[in-house]
């Protein structure tokens, strides 16, 4: 059983305070009856809730697409440094969200946050190989030899062997890389093995889901469950 105000703020974009106000004003019904007590308990799996006459869809899990800015840690919590979860509003933070897959502190771009452990597990499982695309800005242009080294599955400086990856040359010192695994600092280490330094790295997509270009750095939006699952397409 869950409190109505908590339920409403978790299932809509209303803050907890706005959810409480909406309930007190009689804008919310539970099973067809207007409820003005924010502390009223309901069973989320079976209750029918409306806000201003519109059904509130119940989502067991939350999926959030974030455009990560540089300088933010890609973990749930850190005592000293701001994290991707700190960028979200309080009512979402209380759901125990975590990033499904990491980016380095200085890497920008697409991060998925969820409270669905199976989803994250499925996405990161080596067997699934959800491909991840990055735009890398290098200190000097890459060339065909670099692309071939990526394609052939290179060995890193410490002896680790990488799966074949894709490297497309782009304008100037840019290259678009697609990885099928997630080793520590992998893009940077692969370019380092080819004599290039990655100056900027930006994640463009994960599987079939691209970063929403309308999201400025630090902005995020809720994904529908259907959109979130396009990662696996
Ligand atoms: N590869 C890296 O080197 N850094 C990232 O953040 C992601 C992939």
**Among the options 37, 78, 104, 166, which is catalytic?**
104
The answer to whether residue 104 is catalytic is yes
pLDDT at 127 (0 to 100)? 79
- Alpha helix stretches (DSSP H) within the chain: 4-11, 16-24, 90-93, 117-124, 144-151, 186-193, 225-229
Closest approach atom of ligand 1 to CA 102: 6
The tens place of each residue's pLDDT in the chain, 233 residues long, gives 999 999 998 888 788 899 999 999 999 999 999 999 999 999 998 999 999 999 998 888 999 999 999 999 999 999 999 999 999 987 677 778 999 999 999 999 999 999 999 999 999 888 777 999 999 999 999 999 999 999 999 999 999 999 999 999 999 999 999 999 999 999 999 999 999 999 999 999 999 999 998 999 999 999 989 999 999 99
Q: How far is the CA of 205 from the centre of ligand 1 (A)?
A: 13
Q: What pLDDT score was predicted for residue 151?
A: 98
Q: Which residues of 157-177 are buried (b: 16+ CB within 10 A; e: fewer)?
A: eeeeebeebebeeeeebbbeb
Distance, in Å, from the CA atom of 37 to the CA atom of 39, rounded to the nearest integer, reads: 5
Pocket mutation for ligand 1, best pick of 106, 134, 160, 176 (most atoms within 8 Å of C-beta):
134
Nearest CA to ligand 1 atom 7: 103
Take atom 4 of ligand 1 and give the residue whose Cα is closest. Answer: 185
Which one, of 207, 158, 206, 208, lies nearest residue 183 by Cα? 158
Pocket test for ligand 1, best of 187, 192, 194, 205 (most atoms within 8 A of CB): 187
């Amino acid at each position: 059983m869950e409190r109505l105000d908590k339920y409403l703020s978790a299932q809509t974009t209303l803050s907890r305070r706005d959810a409480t106000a909406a309930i007190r004003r009689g804008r919310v019904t539970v099973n067809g009856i207007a409820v003005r007590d924010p502390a009223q308990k309901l069973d989320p799996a079976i209750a029918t809730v409306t806000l201003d006459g519109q059904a509130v869809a119940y989502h067991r899990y939350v999926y959030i697409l974030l455009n990560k800015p540089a300088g933010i840690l890609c973990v749930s919590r850190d005592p000293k440094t701001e994290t991707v979860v700190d960028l979200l509003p309080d009512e979402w933070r209380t759901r125990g969200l975590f990033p499904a897959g990491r980016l380095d502190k200085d890497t920008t771009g697409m991060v998925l946050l969820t409270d669905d452990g199976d989803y994250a597990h499925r996405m990161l499982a080596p067997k699934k190989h959800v491909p991840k695309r990055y735009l890398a800005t290098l200190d000097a242009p890459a060339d065909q030899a670099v692309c071939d080294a990526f394609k052939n599955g290179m060995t890193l400086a410490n002896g680790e062997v990488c799966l074949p990856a894709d490297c497309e040359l782009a304008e100037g010192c840019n290259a678009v890389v697609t990885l099928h695994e997630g080793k520590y600092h992998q893009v940077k280490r692969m370019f380092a093995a080819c004599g290039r330094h990655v100056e900027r790295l930006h994640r463009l997509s994960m599987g079939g889901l691209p970063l929403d270009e309308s999201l400025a750095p630090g902005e995020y939006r809720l994904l529908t469950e259907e959109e979130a699952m396009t990662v696996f397409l």
